[in-house]
Amino acid sequence: MTNNIKISNRLKTIGDLVLDNSSVVDVGCDHALLSIYLVINKNCKVIASDINKLPLKEAKKNIEKYNLEDKIKIVLSNGLECINDKFDTIVISGMGASTIINIIKKDIDKVRNCNKIIIESNNDLYSIRKYFLDNYFKIVNEVMVYDKGKYYTIIVFENSNKLIKYNLSELYFGEHKYRNSDIFIKYKNYLIDKYMEILRNKEVDNIRMLLNFLNE
Ligand SMILES: C[S@@+](CC[C@H](N)C(=O)[O-])C[C@H]1O[C@@H](n2cnc3c(N)ncnc32)[C@H](O)[C@@H]1O
C-alpha cells in the first residue's frame, strides 16, 4: 500500500466527495495533492491538469514521490480544452467563480458527458449556483468546511433533465437543508456579525436582504 498523503481539511473534504473508482479530471491541480489523495484513498484514475507549466512540474515531482505515474496523467490545459481521455468526474477547486464558469462554458459538452462536477469556488457562490442551475444541472450536495481560519463551500452538481429554480436566498446561501450543520451555523453567525458591523457604519440595502435570508 502506498503511503498516505497529508492534505488540508479543505482538500480532504473535496476528495471524500468523489466516488470510489472514478475517473477524475483535477482541473487546476497545482501540486496534485488532491489527485494523489484520490488514487490512494479512492482508487481513482486521475488526469491532473493545469494551465501553467510550473505547477505541473511540482505535480510531477509529487506524483513520482508516491510512484503513481501509472495512475495519474499530467496534462497542460486551459480548463478542459486539451483533455481528450474519458472521465466521469470533474473537480475544480481553489479558483474564482468567473474562472470556473468560463472553464465550464467553454467545454460544456465535455461537462455534460460526466456524472459529477465538484466545485469549490473562492468567491461568489451565487453566480456558481445560478450558472449551473440555469444550464440544466442540479445540486446534489453542499458541504461546508473550516480550514485555516476560512470557511469553504463545496458544491456537487449532476446533470438534470429539468430546470431547477432556486429563490434568491437559496442562490446566495444554498438550500435550507444544507444550513443545519454546526459549521454552517458558525458561518451564519460570523456573517451576521460582519454584516451588522457594515450596517453600523453605513446603509447598505443588499446587506439588509442577506441578513433577512440568514434569519429566515
Ligand atoms: C490556487 S490553485 C488551487 C489548486 C488546487 N485545485 C486547490 O484547490 O488547492 C489554482 C490553480 O489553478 C490553475 N488555473 C487557473 N486557471 C486555470 C485554467 N483556466 N485552467 C486550468 N488551470 C487553471 C492555476 O495555475 C493554479 O495552479
Q: What is the pLDDT of residues 168-196, one digit of tens each?
A: 999 999 999 999 999 999 999 999 999 88
Of 20-24, 83-87, 105-109, 198-202, the range with the lowest mean pLDDT is 198-202
How far, in Å, is the centroid of ligand 1 from the Cα of 8? 16
How far, in Å, is the centroid of ligand 1 from the Cα of 212? 35
**pLDDT tens readout for residues 33-78:** 999 999 999 999 999 999 999 999 999 999 999 999 999 999 999 9
pLDDT above 80 for 206:
no
**pLDDT tens readout for residues 117-156:** 999 999 999 999 999 999 999 999 999 999 999 999 999 9
The model's pTM is 0.93
Q: Whose CA is nearest to atom 12 of ligand 1?
A: 28
**pLDDT tens readout for residues 3-40:** 689 999 999 999 999 999 999 999 999 999 999 999 99
Q: Which of 9, 38, 52 to mutate to test the pocket of ligand 1 (most atoms within 8 A of CB)?
A: 52
Q: Whose CA is nearest to atom 23 of ligand 1?
A: 28
Q: Which of 50, 107, 123 to mutate to test the pocket of ligand 1 (most atoms within 8 A of CB)?
A: 50
Q: What is the DSSP string of the chain?
A: -PPP----HHHHHHHHTSPTT-EEEEET-TT-HHHHHHHHHH--EEEEEESSHHHHHHHHHHHHHTT-TTTEEEEE-STTTT--S--SEEEEEEE-HHHHHHHHHHTHHHHHTSSEEEEEESS-HHHHHHHHHHTTEEEEEEEEEEETTEEEEEEEEEE-SS-----HHHHHH--GGGS-SHHHHHHHHHHHHHHHHHHHHS--HHHHHHHHHHT-
Q: Whose CA is nearest to atom 9 of ligand 1?
A: 94
pLDDT recorded at residue 1: 45
pLDDT recorded at residue 2: 56
Domains, the chain, ordered by start:
9-165 (3.40.50.150), 180-216 (no CATH)
